[in-house]
Structure 1
């Protein structure tokens, strides 16, 4: 790149730059230049300093990486954080969460809960998240206003839900929202049939046909527990994943969330269809749902991304912490200390998430031409010393409080740990007010 080009909008000069693609690379004393919301330059510091730039930011002791991608969650459920802890999945859902949703969830709840989740995620280094919750148009508006990037999955169940009294109405709203936002630079609409046990074949067929017509993705909870699989086999003689395969839903645009139960036949189906898996280790641990065999999937060539799930079952939206848990758990499940090393764990939290959402040409790695979705982690603190491998320190020794700066499409949304577009005090006050209302009326 020559200096005759237009000046860079911003030149970042960190101690380490981890592009994620190519894999396993750490660039020391390199610069990254941003122009018009995209990465325009990556090269040695000396070459970077010769370029004209409107702003230069020195980032000593910091590691620059692609923004983290939270590939599964229910953003507005942040307002139910801690409401029904330490319960099994179906008790938690049927006796607590579904009744609370029926009572409290409306457009205001979704707006305030989604804003809270967006702010928490930005402060944790997340630049893009997948959301699957009611009133998806409201969530889209929140994302649009925040400057963040998101995949919004339209929730579809066989029974009435907040905002849609029938599955057909939910699908119709989804198609409309898809049309309205198909050219949005930061929002992607997908279809979100809830789970195999809440959506019948007829509705899954409708979703498949529409998703194919629109070239849209499908995001669904699948094989979350052994009980779910066992119940399906007892009722129909067929495992849920096999049923989805028979109905033609599996494929590169299908995102299977959880997948704690994987037989040899399931694995063959996943590989053959090129389906992505979204791994949510902490939610699965907390609800005792089981363990996704990440290393086995990875070695078979399956794309595995990572999600926090909702704050009602996690209880935070901390993708860096989630990735650390995933790396540790993968080793225990595989019985191998070499399973899911730190570099692959970071890839799972970035480029693999982008690939699952069909956004790998746009985000997920630091490459010239891609959108400037970038996070700066401060590794200068006491707890990160000494540094032999900065990626190992990031995954195994660093918390999300080390997230210092964050950019989405070149716009800085977090500056020295301060949100630039959102009022943290106001968000906190609103969340407290919701908590008081919900707890006061739940007696």
Structure 2
């Protein structure tokens, strides 16, 4: 088998707890890094060569939380709190065909490759019902692009209106049967669809892995949560779910369980090393102890948290307790981007105003969360997230003759705080060059964009009635917000 070489590049490696940059030539074979040479050895004529002179080679970024169906909804939802925002986004993604799901996943996948992401976890919401053909199409899109992906189908069996801390007066005289109180597939049927997907795709070409993704505790019956956890245990999968993203979700947990949501998950046995809690903003009581004790991972989504006004994730507290943390962009409809460079910068800066400077995260730590932290959290282990012999050859290369790196004073600081993905020129996944010269090598980008535009326009018209049905919940949610605001001001 031919060897691939990246010659004479500035390589960024994580060693002895810190980042080190040095000129090296990277030898790659069978999808893995063989060595980082101090010089360029003899290269056989049949070997592939990427000239790395003037390039920075870094571990590929890992996006630990995104939602591919929302890529066709970019820019469609106004700036609103999550519960109101979701009325626009959820209704907008309904009724997709498998081809539309493929295009939506490919659209985000191209953006991620072009901004240096080599692996991701897609928390896939198929509406109105989970559909195996749509899940297959999404996995196929990532395989066609050459990305490394964990595809975690979202399951949920509580009607929308019953997942919110609404009062009976909020819903008086409203007909919510078409959206807010619409029945969903039984838990057993959803688990069966998800398990069939796992059996078809988990481990495919060593690039596609499956997971299972309960939407959030308050959106799932206990039977569904337990069934999802059992599925994850049977196949050794990641269990990935939203948790405590907003104050309303915190309140709803107490209504449903008579205790905090994390405490309830712990009682059900859902916390553990293969469990991801996305957002985890409104934790309380002994939640930090429970998360740390069970080695549960947190996925921090700073841009969408700010976009939706959800609150500040207690990131410093998680890290100080040794809790594993990864970074996610969240969806292109509540972040407006799949660019993990942007997210990494936000993670490094957003918490500064509310923390003493001694507890600031900093650029080096933020970059580690976007690489090794995310890879570990979503089940890719220690073989992804660094440039070292034996590691998977998932490598992003950036031009150094760009504004972000000129003059070059501190590689890590400038990579995190100055770079926005525009310097990315080549991307290698599992030893294969899947982005060359800033262009995907496996799919026609222009054709994907053209088809995406066509589908988005068509879907907007098709979903007008669904949007109207969803908007019936807007007034009750506004009343809920007003009540939450009064309750908080009274308790202070």
Alignment partners' CA distance in 2, 1:51 and 1:14: 13
What pairs up with 1:395-410 in 2 under 5 angstroms? Answer: 395-410=416-431
Give, in angstroms, the shift of residue 307 of structure 1: 0.4
Aligned to 1:72: 65
- Match 1:418 to one of 439, 450, 456: 439
Q: Are the structure 2 counterparts of residues 437 and 411 from structure 1 closer, same or farther at C-alpha, using a change threshold of 3 Å?
A: same
Alignment partners' CA distance in 1, 2:300 and 2:247: 16
Deviates more, 1:232-241 or 1:332-341: 332-341
Aligned to 2:284: 263
Give, in angstroms, the shift of residue 304 of structure 1: 0.6
Aligned to 1:107: 98
Aligned to 2:131: none
Give, in angstroms, the shift of residue 401 of structure 1: 0.9
Aligned to 1:91: 84
Q: Are the structure 2 counterparts of residues 387 and 143 from structure 1 closer, same or farther at C-alpha, using a change threshold of 3 Å?
A: same
CA contact (8 A) 2:316 2:359 kept: no
Aligned to 1:280: 301
CA contact (8 A) 1:20 1:351 kept: no
Q: Determine helix, strand or coil for the equivalent of 2:382.
A: coil
Aligned to 1:431: 452
What pairs up with 1:202-281 in 2 under 5 angstroms? Answer: 202-281=223-302
Give the length in aligned residue pairs: 432
Aligned to 1:120: 111
Give, in angstroms, the shift of residue 24 of structure 1: 1.5
**TM-score computed with the length of structure 2 as normaliser:** 0.83
Once the two structures are superposed, residues 267-289 of structure 1 have per-residue CA deviations (whole angstroms, 9 ceiling, x without a partner) of 11111000010011111100000
Deviates more, 1:310-319 or 1:84-93: 84-93
The answer as to 2:14 corresponding to 1:20 is yes
Alignment partners' CA distance in 2, 1:182 and 1:313: 28
Alignment partners' CA distance in 1, 2:259 and 2:63: 31
RMSD, aligned CA: 2.1
Aligned to 1:386: 407
CA contact (8 A) 1:217 1:253 kept: yes
Give, in angstroms, the shift of residue 58 of structure 1: 2.5
Alignment partners' CA distance in 2, 1:317 and 1:337: 30
Alignment partners' CA distance in 2, 1:13 and 1:23: 26
Once the two structures are superposed, residues 326-368 of structure 1 have per-residue CA deviations (whole angstroms, 9 ceiling, x without a partner) of 1001323323265222111111011111111221233111121
Give, in angstroms, the shift of residue 146 of structure 1: 1.7
CA contact (8 A) 1:21 1:367 kept: no
Deviates more, 1:303-312 or 1:108-117: 108-117
What pairs up with 1:305-316 in 2 under 5 angstroms? Answer: 305-316=326-337
CA contact (8 A) 1:21 1:366 kept: no
CA contact (8 A) 2:21 2:411 kept: no
Aligned to 2:121: 130
What pairs up with 1:150-189 in 2 under 5 angstroms? Answer: 150-159=149-158, 165-184=185-204, 185-189=206-210
What pairs up with 1:286-297 in 2 under 5 angstroms? Answer: 286-297=307-318
CA contact (8 A) 2:427 2:435 kept: yes
Alignment partners' CA distance in 2, 1:208 and 1:421: 35
Unaligned runs of 5+ in 2: 127-133, 160-178, 465-492
